[in-house]
Amino acid sequence: MMARLFLLMAFATLCCCVPATFADEVEPELDRKQPIEITAQQLEVLQLQRQSVFTGDVVAQQGDMTLYAEKLIIYLQENQDEVDRLEAMGAVRFVQLGRVATAEKAIFYQKDEVLVLTGNAVVIEGKNKISGDEMTLFMKEDRILIKGSEKTRVKAVVVPEEKKEKP
């Protein structure tokens, strides 16, 4: 029961940080009262390592926010019943209200409220797209750092909105 509670808290925390990755006039809010459903081919709870490992077509959903990955690991802090970090690996994809963020790997550090997307990180909203090798989102600072690599440069495509004329 305790492991289930921590899994739910961890996913709720991860979901709360994702909307901050997108600039928008109206920020969607995650309804924490909605149930969280996590499905996978397998769940292994490692009590001694303080880890819960979901593997195989992982889908975690709360409200309009969905996380897809091949593997999701939830790490608890030493000697505490709180989440230290979450790691999603393999075809990671966050989807919320037409917004999509993808990467090969995502790590969320709960205490620092930092989300790191690595490996072909891409965020798309409408026709706008930003990509790089690594994206680090500092939630407390409302700041994003996007890095390229020796082979890949950071790229942003911003399409101006068409203003509707009043009749």
Burial (CB < 10 A; 0-12, 13-18, 19+), residue 33, is exposed
Q: Is pLDDT above 90 for 103?
A: yes
- Does any domain span residue 164? no
Residue 109: predicted pLDDT: 86
129 in Cβ contact with 122 (< 8 Å): yes
- Does any domain span residue 46? yes
Q: Would you say how long the chain is, in residues? A: 167
With a pLDDT cut of 90, the percent of the chain lying above it is: 41
3-state secondary structure at position 68: strand
Find tokens 């690991």 and name the residue: 73
- Does any domain span residue 143? yes
Claim: this prediction has a pTM higher than 0.75: no
- Does any domain span residue 23? yes
How many domains, in total, are found in the chain? 1
In whole angstroms, give the CA distance from residue 155 to residue 167.
37
Look up the CATH number of the domain holding residue 120: 2.60.450.10
Please tell me which residue, 79 or 55, carries the higher pLDDT value: 55
Q: What is the DSSP letter of 49?
A: T
The DSSP element (H or E) to which 5 belongs, if any, is helix 2-17
- Does any domain span residue 163? no
**Which domain does 82 fall in, by range?**
2-157
Q: Is pLDDT above 90 for 46?
A: yes
- Does any domain span residue 15? yes
